[in-house]
Chains A and B, each alone.
Chain A
């Protein structure tokens, strides 16, 4: 028995060495590296989850490369099942090949994991539960195991050929036929493939339950594929046992998927206690009156947010209402306690230094401070002609690295939310030119009337010695934008803009 086991290990090692030097794997590794790198592109601040998502992408690429790498060996075993008569028989040889394929896939994935890990600054914010870590490895291995199963059943290179033709065909479709009927069918197939790869609605490595379910699903599918490979072209008891096992494992995988979809449906808030390693302590912390409630693992981002909101809020009077900022996950809905009128939501991506991200953060905080009926995910209110909509753009403090067009876009994006009058944009421009201290004093002086919406843009301008020439009582049309902000030509406005929000309620008058 010992001798048999030792020979099995040697055969596994023999197969591993051949697979590891397969040109398919080497080519695949180069392609995978290039692809993951290009997908990262203009990367925002890295997080544990973004790293994990890259690992999942990498796993699919490793799976494809290993599918190709393993096919010659699997076809060889399938076509010459009886050569030679030796103590290590057909089943042992197939098992050794499966083991080697899984080992080499995992080694390739591990190498990629390590390389990607070192391209980030550490520690990475966010949480990846240890149960989620093996999932990309299982995905990576499933390519090779599928390759072996298909080659064993078909005894041919046909599956590899289909993959080789299917890959470029898919790219061609994506560029040419996306809108055609064919494109629709391909889209459905793509969806099915994606769903099979990960059938859960909530997908995040940070939640313990979700990670465990994903791991169970990935391992069950992997084992089922291996059982299918072992069943190929067998008869009698071997066929019966391996097919039966495969069916049972697939049923288990389907059950796991259904259970996961049921337990974690779309939109149901999930408490922090389900995040891996959560201590149960309150996530919130107050800095200069502003409350920050980061997701577990993102505590270090409090400083990031405060470096934007702190200076902005300091421009406003003491009594200005301070925001309570909750961080939500892009992958699931976090259970949050948003106080009415004060709650704002940020996500688990950050893009410091871009101007857009900072402006978006300040805009929400300013809406809260200025009593503009702010509720996350609700349409903003209308404030045509009200001076308070000019405050946020004055606070943006956009970096000089941005072009004039980019600055105009950021301002326009904020203003159009509230259906501005031409006079409002004119005032925004004027505030930029005035000394900051003078504007600050005026805002402090008129704060009460500002937050109640009584103070109009025209009046505030007069206070500051500026005469506005444009009307203050009608929303800006596209042609007004062309006139006042020539950088933003009217082609830039989509249908309905810039007055998409004309039917919204007028922003609250009561404090």
Chain B
């Protein structure tokens, strides 16, 4: 029966309990603290799960077993790695810009955390129902590139500098098509608020409802966001074989771990955006006409739907990484400016046309 309670009731109960003891100002403060802790906890749990998943997916695709030693089937490997990184010294190279160098990992991580705010994980489980939620996410997540540039610049290492510059060029260009592909859906749904976008998909996910433009937007979104994440086949910023480790060459210990965590948090965010906008957020999968089936689907808790879809997109991104070779910097930019961007613009026009004619369901 716990599923019947719903997250709204839980949050309300916490709020009432706190109000009973504290004055309103303190209630807000302690709630903010609780929420922050909950978010950090969520991100850490997700990061551990993703790292484990990534390693296993990579292993199985490569005829390997992946980590097997620490814990059952290597499940504790991520914790062992964190422990190792914690024990390592954070080196600052000679001639580095000390302030920027130590600031960069924090900037990158903070930005990824900021972007988490407007997501709705389940009915009633949303931190901040912002009326421009989608816009907020794409605006905030593009600040991350500043952290990467800072890291590349301040390391006093030419490889890092090249990596930072590549990353700058890449993120700035792919921002466009990632944004445009979301806008295609926003046009159809008519709202920027995450909550409204999810609610508008109660009768079917946008990827199905929106005909071809939505599907095309989804493909563009996955490609562009993989590029924004600096992951293979677009991992030019850290291209191991070319730039040793790109912008984080000089980072060690926990500073490196922060970049790592930020990368995984960003992956999580991108997958959540994809889930929310294209795959119906926490809405269950319904087929019009099959009432019994739909009813069955309703029994699956909504947050399982949400995280299931998120992990599906995560898997897609991992699948790309472990299959494809890396692109070259000029090809990367060509792909964006010659293919993705013009096609997305055309796509938006078509999407707008469909919306005006009311052809979408």
The answer to whether A and B come from one shared complex is no
